[in-house]
A and B are shown apart, each in its own frame.
Chain A
Amino acid sequence: MTGSPLLEVTDLLIRYRAGLFAPRPKPAVNGASFRLERGTTLGIVGESGSGKTSLLRAILRLLPVESGAIRLEGRDWLALHGRALRRARQGIGVVSQNPFLSLSPRLTVAEILAEPMLAAGHRPGPQIRDRIAALLSDCGLPAAFLDRRARELSGGQAQRVAIARALALEPRLLVLDEPTSALDVSVQAQILNLLSDLRERHELSMLFVTHNLKVVAHVADSLLVMRRGDVVEFGPTEQVVHAPAQPYTRELLSFGVHSRTARKEPS
């Protein structure tokens, strides 16, 4: 089984249900196909409404698919249901855009990190306490943070806690939906550095969703570009970045400091 990719998605079609008499809406994801190799990061990029979150939600089985297939570690992932599905889903860690919405503001960091372990049936005790401290330090926060409440954290600190929580059950796959979009560029840099450390240390595979192509071009081994529900590019990062098939993709890369200094620097 070592040859099979961690995740393989084929012709996935996702369509939200409309009202009873409303016309059938366009698919939110219109036939997506891609593979995620073990230990690698796939970047999924596209503007708002292009279908990125819908795609992630379908992979997390939070959203039904109309047609297509998803295989996770070689298994038919769409065939799992009920308790078996809930158990298997613990193998996927999730980090979302706004850490303040995803962390209960009144809980302490220790309580937040304990929660997935308790929900998975681990018994409270010193092991959990040790594991929590290890997770926190893994994510670059000193143990003093264990007793802080979520509402007392800065955006970057809260996102570190959210990442620690996603890692609590030692997932093989980490799914990140715009994990740095609400952060300052300088804090984003810290989180991107952290993710690359964690990936090495834990041999994680990642799906990294963002509207910022420059961000995923930095972290991802391969890139998938979505536009209005369609996959318009999929390939190794170097290929998509250096020879984009779409003018749209080029546009998403050619702005900012490096374009301006290249343009204006006398040669």
Chain B
Amino acid sequence: MPLSDTTPLLEIRGLSVTIPTPEGDVHAVRAVDLEIGRGDIHGLIGESGSGKTMTGMAMLGLVPKGSRIGAGRFHFDGQDLRQQAGRLRGRRIGMISQDPAAALNPVLSIRRQIDDVLRTHRDLPRAARRAEALALLAATGLPDPEKVLRSYPHQLSGGMQQRVVIAQALATGADFLIADEPTTALDVSVAMQVLALLRRLVAERNLTVLMITHDMDVIAEACDRVTVLYAGRSVETGPVEEVLNRPAHRYTRALLGALPDAVPRGARLAVVEGSFDDPDPEGAA
């Protein structure tokens, strides 16, 4: 086995992202350690504002203009993301966002949108691109790929749109996908199907996924390992089973206790003290 197969695909130590604003610097990410093994679905969980999206954006080289990225180590497959993120984006690193309707162009057919990606990233003749587009849509479990190719985004349900976005991410040839809340906008039953699809694609195509979410149920459904983010810092990481059964950090315990089926019906759910959404954070212990 070549050495590269046992080294982690992604290695981040002490990542920080500081965004300059007219009101002063925003410390969007303060200290994140993240190590993702090849073939893993690695969850990144935390509540709104904890820095999940900005951590993903830093890997894609898409931080806001003027932002400062600091890190002890910020490597993807041995390459330093500080220099290489822009080049790796779309080649090795793909993106699936929360809102598939916003990710797709409303006035272009699905055929055109997938073909644009294939033309940019893969050196294929026209007929081969068409066959590849059909194969990709079929791989995402869409029932009638021919019909989907002819469709426009508004003619598809949210779950179908998200499958198209996944097909588009695969069309780039990327082997590492950053999925930012990919199921948050979907119905529970559709969300479960999309997560099952991602698991299948990871196994079939040797992909690695960073799964960003605020929902421990998504972590439990989809992930092998998980890192917990709190106020821009990674506070706990480990195999999903271990973190779910023996959460070490009180914030992780609160995220688990906030699930509506964590307590008997009608009993109080856990609330995160000093949470970003706490109306009275000074009053919090």
Residues of A in contact with B (beta carbons under 8 Å apart): 47-48, 140-142, 145, 154-157, 160, 184-190, 192-193, 196, 211-215, 217-219, 237-238, 248, 251-253, 255-261, 264-265
Contact = CB atoms under 8 A, between A and B. Distances in A.
B258 interface: yes
A186 B254 contact: yes
A247 to B, nearest CB: 11
Given A186-B277, A217-B260, A260 B188 contact: no
Interface in B35-88: 47-48
Contact of B48 (A187, A218, A256): A187
A228 to B, nearest CB: 13
B166 interface: no
Contacts of A259: 220
B258 A211 contact: no
B5 interface: no
Contacts of A212: 188, 260
Given A217-B260, A218-B260, A190 B217 contact: no
A167 B157 CA distance: 35
Given A145-B279, A155-B48, A189-B269, 14 more contacts: A142-B280, A154-B277, A155-B277, A156-B277, A160-B279, A184-B47, A185-B47, A186-B255, A186-B275, A189-B260, A193-B271, A196-B266, A255-B188, A257-B216
Contacts, number: 132
Nearest to B251: A186
A253 B265 CA distance: 14
B261 interface: yes
Interface residues of B, number: 43
B261 A154 contact: no
Contact of A213 (B158, B188, B215, B275): B188
Contacts of B270: 189
Given A185-B214, A192-B269, A48 B158 contact: yes
Interface string B221-258: 10000000000000000001100110000000011111
B215 A185 contact: yes
A257 B243 CA distance: 11
The 9 A-B residue pairs whose C-beta atoms are closest, nearest first, are A256-B217, A189-B258, A189-B269, A218-B260, A260-B220, A156-B277, A184-B214, A257-B220, A47-B187
Which one of A188, A189, A252, A261 has the highest number of Cβ atoms from chain B below 10 Å of its Cβ?
Answer: A189
Given A140-B279, A160-B279, A185 B261 contact: no
Nearest to A251: B189
